[in-house]
């Protein structure tokens, strides 16, 4: 008869071996989730356009000597209905476009010169739209205790000036940045105690 050898049972995992596997996994999940707890902020001006491309596209649709104030309103460019659109009078336009140190506008666009010469019948719209988003990136705990805070800022800026003479656009100009991006890296070796001076410490008697 063949002898039957008893089968070997695999050893039961010990508590220490289980903890050796579970703890690193739990720590990795915890630290990975902490990145979502880092603060962020958004700053934007309420204006007709939601992006730089949209702003430039709408601006290019404005045609001097053709687009009217009613057309601008249809585009959402109305200082009486839309926030952050400034109304400029003829004196504001002179200060903005005249040669520095003088009031000469002889070399400027004919439509702009004729508009300013009409004085009270001339006005301008100025739109200055900015949008920025700030994200704290990097290690959550270093950021939380202020040992190291890395902040990434991104956004865009668009500024437009539209000159109107007798309810018709006669001149337009724009400037801006399609994309802005910067990273600020602040390191505090003492963490939350970095800004505490000797005068802030309790006296020992």
* Residue extents of the structural domains in the chain: 40-192
Q: Which two tokens stand for residue 89?
A: 């009078």
Compare 75 and 144 and report the one with higher pLDDT: 75
- Tell me which DSSP letter residue 147 carries: S
Is 80 exceeded by the pLDDT of residue 99?
no
7-11, 98-102, 178-182: which is most confident: 178-182
- Read off the pLDDT of each residue in 15-25 and give the average, rounded to a whole number: 57
Q: Phi, psi (5° rounding) for residue 43?
A: -130, 125
Q: Enter the pTM of the model.
A: 0.67
Is 90 exceeded by the pLDDT of residue 58?
yes
The per-residue DSSP string of 131-172 comes to EEEEEEES-HHHHHTTSEEEEEEEEEEEEEEEEEETTEEEEE
- Residue-level pLDDT at 29: 46
- Residue-level pLDDT at 27: 53
- Read off the pLDDT of each residue in 25-51 and give the average, rounded to a whole number: 61
Is 60 exceeded by the pLDDT of residue 115?
yes
Cβ atoms within 10 Å, residue 161: 21
- Residue-level pLDDT at 34: 62
How many helices (H) and strands (E) would you count in the chain? 6, 5
- Residue-level pLDDT at 185: 85
Q: Phi, psi (5° rounding) for residue 166?
A: 55, 50
- Residue-level pLDDT at 16: 64
Residue 46, Cα to own-chain centre: how many angstroms? Answer: 13
Q: Which residues are paired to 122 by β-bridges?
A: 165
Q: Which two tokens stand for residue 6?
A: 């008893």
Q: What is the largest CA-CA distance in the chain?
A: 122
Residues 128 and 48: their CA atoms lie apart, in Å, by: 11
Is 80 exceeded by the pLDDT of residue 114?
yes
Q: Which two tokens stand for residue 24?
A: 């690193």
* CB of 85 closer than 8 Å to CB of 46: no
């Amino acid at each position: 008869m063949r002898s039957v050898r008893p089968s070997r049972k695999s050893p039961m995992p010990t508590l220490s071996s289980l903890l050796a596997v579970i703890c690193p996994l739990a720590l990795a999940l915890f630290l990975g989730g902490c990145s979502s707890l880092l603060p962020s902020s958004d700053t934007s001006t309420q204006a007709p356009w939601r992006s730089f491309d949209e702003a430039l596209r709408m601006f290019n649709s404005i045609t001097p000597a053709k687009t009217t104030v009613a057309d601008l309103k249809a585009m959402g460019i109305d200082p009486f209905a839309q926030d952050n659109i400034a109304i400029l009078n003829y004196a504001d336009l002179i200060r903005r476009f005249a040669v520095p140190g003088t009031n000469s506008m002889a070399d400027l666009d004919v439509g702009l010169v004729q508009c300013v010469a009409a004085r009270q019948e001339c006005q301008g719209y100025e739109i200055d739209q900015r949008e920025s988003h700030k994200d704290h990136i990097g290690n959550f705990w270093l950021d939380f205790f202020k040992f190291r805070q890395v902040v990434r800022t991104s956004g865009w800026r668009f500024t437009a000036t539209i000159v109107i003479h007798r309810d018709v656009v006669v001149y337009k100009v724009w400037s801006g940045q399609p994309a802005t991006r910067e990273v600020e890296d602040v390191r505090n070796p003492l963490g939350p105690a970095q800004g505490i001076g000797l005068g802030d410490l309790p006296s020992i008697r």
